Chain A
Amino acid sequence: MANRKERQRFERLMMGHLDGAYNLALWLVREPAEAEDIVQTAYMRAFEHFHTFTGGNAAGWIMTIVRNTAYNWLNKQKRNSNLISFDEVLHSHEPDNRKQLTPEEAVSINARSSQLMEQMERLPVEFREALFLREIEGYSYKEIAEITQVPKGTVMSRLSRGRGQLQNLLLEQQKRRQQNGM
């Protein structure tokens, strides 16, 4: 039966990326239950549109659907709560209003994963996404540009500003810890 063959082919190509898909959703929405739901929805959607997958990078294909589903959810949340979010276009020509750390300061940063994740959550979601795809998944700039549907230059700027802001946040956190004698 054709349906069955399609489903088996889908599972063979896509199920192996479930950990990456779930963690991407988790990094984006930060709520395990929502991330689970988003991945489930994304996989159902992906299967429905499986005919549009013409071979090639299966991981990139499913990741795109997962992140789009996550952004739909985030946009819905934003509408519901009237949150004003970071506007990348508006701010892209301003320097980040954070000072550039000295090399000595930057290299003095030591963060455990939990501390790092705590600060990571304070970054704009687009920066977090780029960092996840680069550092956790190991994608190239070109692949990240395809998954997130932006030019390569935007990927580079997101990564760079994400890392810069993280260093600032981590240093502040570290200073607070030291002040508190921890």
Chain B
Amino acid sequence: MVCNEIQQNIEAYLDGELTLSDRRDFEEHLGNCNNCQLRLEAVRKLNTSIKKIGYSSRPSGLKRNIRAGLLDLSGEDSPGFNWSQLLGFSGASALFAGVGVWLVMGVMINSPLQLAHTDELISAHVRSLMVDHMTDIASSDRHTVKPWFNGKLDFSPNVVDFKDHGYPLVGGRLDYLKGRPTAALIYKRRAHVINLFVRKADTPAQITTMQLIQHQGYQLLNWQERGLTYTLVSDLNSKELQAFANKLQP
């Protein structure tokens, strides 16, 4: 065997991927060839130093967050959670058939259910991410945030901190959406900002199912309850946003 062939096999040899007979030929040549030995040594040295990099330690909360997410998904700690209510219509059957929520989203996007003012909500969310635009009242204390809205709105939004569930309250803000005063409650999930917009419903008596809309890389969850319309907007993945929506519903 010539050096060229041998050198093409150096990595496969070190990676333990040569057949027994190729291995034998390889080693036989190596015993008589300094040049090939040196090349082998160089690759071995590189491999060893790559192995030495090893693992970086993972973030301390990762396992806990995944556990919490799994519990949410399996529905064990959330008896009030109802997939068919969340997804509505044919979406529910798609989910139960195991197709997965991302397909359901595709259905929603093209359906007439799409929120008329999706863009306006996303813009409001994006605006809030700008420096100093996130909150008018920055506080994780619901007893500070809730009264701040007094006199600014013609309803009183419910304000709850979900810090223990990994969705801490950051503060509140007054927005105008569709020309109507809107309460924006700001939560965080890790580094993700979540805006919860609460406003008077257009048609208070109407009962709507929860809608999930994906647009421009943002997830929107929209539902109506007791005459108020709630919309969550975030770039957080839809699973965790749904888990959060579930907590927000009494």
Contacts of A170 in B (CB 8 A): 46
Question: A23–B55 contact, CB under 8 A?
Answer: yes
Interface size class of B (residues with CB under 8 A): 35 or more
Question: B15–A40 contact, CB under 8 A?
Answer: no
Q: Which of B49, B98, B101, B191 contacts A51 (CB 8 A)?
A: B98
Whether, in the assembled complex, B75 has its beta carbon less than 8 Å from a beta carbon of chain A, the answer is yes
Question: B62–A22 contact, CB under 8 A?
Answer: yes
Question: B46–A167 contact, CB under 8 A?
Answer: yes
Contacts of A22 in B (CB 8 A): 56, 58-59, 62
Chain A 108-141, CB within 8 Å of chain B: the 1/0 string? 0101010011001000000000010011100011
Question: A167–B70 contact, CB under 8 A?
Answer: no
The closest CB in chain B to the CB of A69 belongs to B237
Q: Which of B38, B192, B240 contacts A103 (CB 8 A)?
A: B38
Contacts of A134 in B (CB 8 A): 15
Among the listed stretches A2-10, A53-61, A84-92, A173-181, which one makes contact with chain B, having 4 or more residues with CB under 8 Å of it? Answer: A2-10
Chain A 135-151, CB within 8 Å of chain B: the 1/0 string? 11000110000000000
Interface size class of A (residues with CB under 8 A): 35 or more
Whether, in the assembled complex, A93 has its beta carbon less than 8 Å from a beta carbon of chain B, the answer is no
Known pairs A32-B59, A136-B51 / 16 extra A-B pairs, C-beta < 8 Å: A4-B76, A11-B70, A19-B55, A20-B55, A23-B58, A39-B58, A44-B69, A44-B240, A52-B98, A103-B39, A104-B38, A107-B41, A109-B42, A113-B53, A140-B17, A141-B17
Binding site for B on A (CB under 8 A): 1, 3-4, 6-7, 10-11, 15, 18-20, 22-23, 26, 32-33, 36-37, 39-41, 43-45, 47-49, 51-52, 76, 101, 103-104, 106-107, 109, 111, 113, 116-117, 120, 131, 134-136, 140-141, 156, 159-160, 163, 166-167, 170
Binding site for A on B (CB under 8 A): 11-12, 15-17, 35, 38-39, 41-43, 45-47, 49-56, 58-59, 62-63, 65-67, 69-71, 73-76, 98, 100-101, 190-192, 217, 237, 239-240
